[in-house]
């Protein structure tokens, strides 16, 4: 098998898809795109404190290892659910998370940026490994069975569903909510954010404040 050729083809398809959707967004003011990729009733974009969000899953990372939240215990975690064929929300949010990670500087090792796919049929370990590497070397990609992904999404209160689209690769896309969950080093829920609601510098500063607070206690 020619792995390089397959990878180049995969990237080419995604670039074409992203370009097509971006063109549609410009043409129609983004309204149709927003309806296609977000649920009808989203929660508030910024919430702090305890919530009915449970950091619980058993999944497989992009290196093929079985992982649970305990794998990242001791680190703050930025968790985002999406899929690799996502034409807009996912690449922009992952690029945002990569910027936050860079801004954290020496403290970046105290944070685990995590991308959980909602499209495990296509987002295999190998696909995720290539995809996350394009954004940041510290970005972690997680996949699993359909049942494992459904359970993880339910625990995080993440909405997603398959959206048939004849123009999309394989004839479908995945509609999904687009929030970043900040989980504490003990695995508990801290806050939820949305890319675009604050610059990456602001989120990085909030995380650094939490890290410094932990060091004082």
For the segment 75-94, what is each residue's pLDDT rounded down to a tens digit?
A: 999 999 999 999 889 999 99
Residue 49 pLDDT greater than 70, yes or no: no
Residue 51 pLDDT greater than 80, yes or no: no
Contacts for 72 with CB less than 8 Å, ≥ 6 apart: 112, 114
Choosing among 3.40.30.10, 3.90.1750.10, 3.30.450.40, 3.40.50.300, the CATH entry for 3-216 is: 3.40.30.10
Residue 160 pLDDT greater than 80, yes or no: yes
Report the C-alpha gap between 57 and 155 in whole angstroms. 8
pTM of the model: 0.79
Task: Kindly indicate the confidence band of residue 162, based on its pLDDT and cuts at 50, 70 and 90.
Answer: very high
Average pLDDT, the chain: 83
Q: Degrees (nearest 5) of the Cα angle 143, 91, 9?
A: 75
Residue showing tokens 């910027």:
99
Name the more confident of 45 and 70. 70
Residue showing tokens 């940041």:
136
What pLDDT does 196 receive?
86
What pLDDT does 86 receive?
93
Query: Of the given ranges (18-32, 114-128, 164-178, 183-197), which has the lowest mean pLDDT?
Result: 18-32
| pLDDT above 90 coverage of the chain, percent | 70
């Amino acid at each position: 098998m020619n792995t390089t050729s397959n990878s180049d083809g995969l990237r080419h398809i995604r670039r074409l898809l992203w370009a097509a959707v971006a063109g549609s967004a410009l043409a129609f003011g983004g309204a149709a795109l927003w309806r296609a990729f977000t649920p009808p009733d989203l929660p508030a974009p910024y919430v702090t404190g305890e919530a009915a969000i449970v950091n619980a899953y058993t999944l497989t990372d992009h290196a093929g290892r079985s992982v649970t939240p305990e794998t990242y215990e001791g680190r703050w975690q930025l968790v985002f659910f999406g899929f690799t064929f996502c034409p807009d929300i996912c690449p922009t949010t992952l690029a945002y998370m990569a910027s936050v990670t860079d801004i954290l500087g020496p403290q970046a090792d105290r944070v685990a940026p995590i991308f959980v796919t909602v499209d495990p049929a296509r987002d295999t370990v190998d696909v995720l490994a290539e995809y996350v590497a394009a954004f940041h070397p510290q970005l972690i990609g997680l996949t699993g069975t359909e049942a494992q992904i459904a359970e993880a999404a339910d625990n995080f209160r993440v909405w997603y569903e398959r959206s048939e689209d004849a123009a999309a690769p394989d004839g479908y896309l995945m509609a999904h909510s687009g929030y970043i969950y900040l989980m504490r080093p003990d695995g508990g829920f801290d806050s939820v954010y949305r890319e675009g609601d604050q610059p990456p510098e602001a989120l990085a500063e909030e995380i650094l404040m939490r890290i410094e607070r932990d060091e004082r206690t």
